Amino acid sequence: MSAKSHPEIKVGILGATGTVGQRFIQLLASHPYFKIHALGASSRSASQQYSKVTRWKLSTPIPDFVQKMVVQDCRPDAEGFAECGVVFSGLDADVAGDIEEAFRSANLIVYSNAKSYRRDPLCPLIVPLVNPSHLSIIPRQRSALSLSKGYIVTNANCSTTGLVVPLAALEKAFGPLETVMVTTLQAISGAGYPGVSSLDILDNVVPHIGGEEEKIEWETNKILGGLRSDNKEFDLHATDSVKPINVSATCTRVPVIDGHTGVVSVKFSCNPPPSIEAIDKAFREFTCEAQELGVPSAPAQAIVVHDAPDRPQPRLDRDLHNGACVSVGRIRDCPVFDVKFVCLIDNVRLGAATSSIMNAEIAVEKGYIA
């Protein structure tokens, strides 16, 4: 069956009024088979019309049919959620853990952006252009929790996502990486709404984002690692023959609205390392399972390599492939490690909502969402 001929699947959105929630609505409003059915947010918004309580920040209007939808409390028994084949979560991380668990316990399927379950040994942490094979732990999660249907899948931190796509291309072509150093320049929208005060960010760079560096350093190895052969445990990029990648991150906030940039240096395990020409080719030729499956949100190109010496740039390149790809440029020799380059991701699309949606599309293809 082609992706477009799937029967309609009703979906819910938790945190529907927020930065990520608005992207979910924009992207799902025209989806070929996911149909927006229920919206949830805090008690501040619940029981009111979506358009009245949302400070909509996207340049396309709120879809007509969403404007008058009534926002629900984020409870699995609130109107509409029980009929949903999948519930997407863009919930504030402070509340996501308990709410998503309540939905899973009610046998609902949750695809989350929040950090709460990324390190859970039963939950896959999936970047759809990299490791959708990790979905195969879902039966183990269900059986461990005695659930017939419900489970939680998470996607990664937005900067981690922009980093691991090019790293996956390098590992696919040249084998395990040894060391990665990344400095990020992260957009304001990454902090949600209203986010960082204008007096803090205008004319400025803030060299600290709480908890961000640890997330990049830890999540990279879960994503680039595998599942052990019994599908019951992640190997966190550590097997008899492969060591975890040493990852060091420095994260900064910059006055950009959307688009996280990463300045990356990599050391390979193989010696001698590949040439810059071979690395450039590996990025350009990288393809992934989401593309092979032909899911609707997969970009035609997972990595766009820029030849101009002053690209990628957030304002010019974040919209490529509808924000579903990673841009890479400035690929060159590194006098300390082996290669350095710059990457760019749309933090609210591939860094958040697009990843959740693409993960769910892949799960539909694999039979984990009916």
Ligand X SMILES: N[C@@H](CC(=O)OP(=O)(O)O)C(=O)O
Which residues contribute to the site for ligand NDP (CB under 6 A)?
15-21, 41-42, 44-45, 74, 90-93, 95-96, 113-115, 158, 189-190, 192-193, 347-348, 351-352
Q: Does position 93 bind ligand X by CB under 6 A?
A: yes
The sign one gets for the Cα dihedral 303, 306, 312, 318 is negative
Return d(Cα 52, Cα 206) in angstroms, integer.
33
**Shortest gap between Cβ of 157 and ligand X (angstroms)?**
3
Cβ neighbours of residue 121 under 8 Å, at least 6 residues apart?
233, 234
Instruction: Choose from ligand NDP, ligand X, none: what does 215 bind? Cβ within 5-8 Å by kind.
Output: ligand X
The single residue among 22, 186, 265, 355 that binds ligand X, judged by CB under 6 A, is: 186
One of 74, 123, 158, 288 is an active-site residue; which one? Answer: 158
Q: Which tokens is 237 given?
A: 């990029």
**Helix, strand, or coil (residue 104):** helix
The sign one gets for the Cα dihedral 194, 198, 204, 207 is negative
**Shortest gap between Cβ of 55 and ligand X (angstroms)?**
18
Q: Does position 82 bind ligand X by CB under 6 A?
A: no
Instruction: Choose from ligand NDP, ligand X, none: what does 74 bind? Cβ within 5-8 Å by kind.
Output: ligand NDP
Closest CA to 17 of 196, 114, 43, 94: 43
Closest CA to 188 of 248, 246, 140, 256: 256
In the residue annotation, 37 being an active-site residue is answered as no
Return d(Cα 338, Cα 23) in angstroms, integer.
37
**Shortest gap between Cβ of 191 and ligand X (angstroms)?**
5
Q: Does position 190 bind ligand X by CB under 6 A?
A: yes
Answer whether 124's CB lies under 8 Å from 135's CB. yes
The single residue among 100, 212, 280, 361 that binds ligand X, judged by CB under 6 A, is: 212
Single-letter code of the amino acid located at 80 = G
Instruction: Choose from ligand NDP, ligand X, none: what does 290 bind? Cβ within 5-8 Å by kind.
Output: none
One of 260, 306, 321, 343 is an active-site residue; which one? Answer: 260
In the residue annotation, 158 being an active-site residue is answered as yes
Instruction: Choose from ligand X, ligand NDP, none: what does 193 bind? Cβ within 5-8 Å by kind.
Output: ligand NDP
Residue nearest to ligand X (CB): 190
Annotate 127-156 with DSSP letters as a single string: -TTT-GGGGGGHHHHHHHTT-SS-EEEE--
Return d(Cα 33, Cα 47) in angstroms, integer.
27
**Shortest gap between Cβ of 260 and ligand NDP (angstroms)?**
8
**Shortest gap between Cβ of 209 and ligand X (angstroms)?**
5
Answer whether 290's CB lies under 8 Å from 306's CB. no
Q: Does position 191 bind ligand X by CB under 6 A?
A: yes
Q: Does position 237 bind ligand X by CB under 6 A?
A: no
Annotate 47-87 with DSSP letters as a single string: TSBHHHH----SSSPPPHHHHTPBPEES-TTSTTGGG-SEE
The single residue among 22, 220, 347, 355 that binds ligand X, judged by CB under 6 A, is: 347
Residue with smaller CB distance to ligand NDP, 73 or 233: 73
The single residue among 17, 141, 157, 220 that binds ligand X, judged by CB under 6 A, is: 157
List of residues contacting ligand X (CB under 6 A): 93, 113, 115, 157-158, 186, 190-191, 209, 212, 215, 347
Catalytic residues: 158, 260
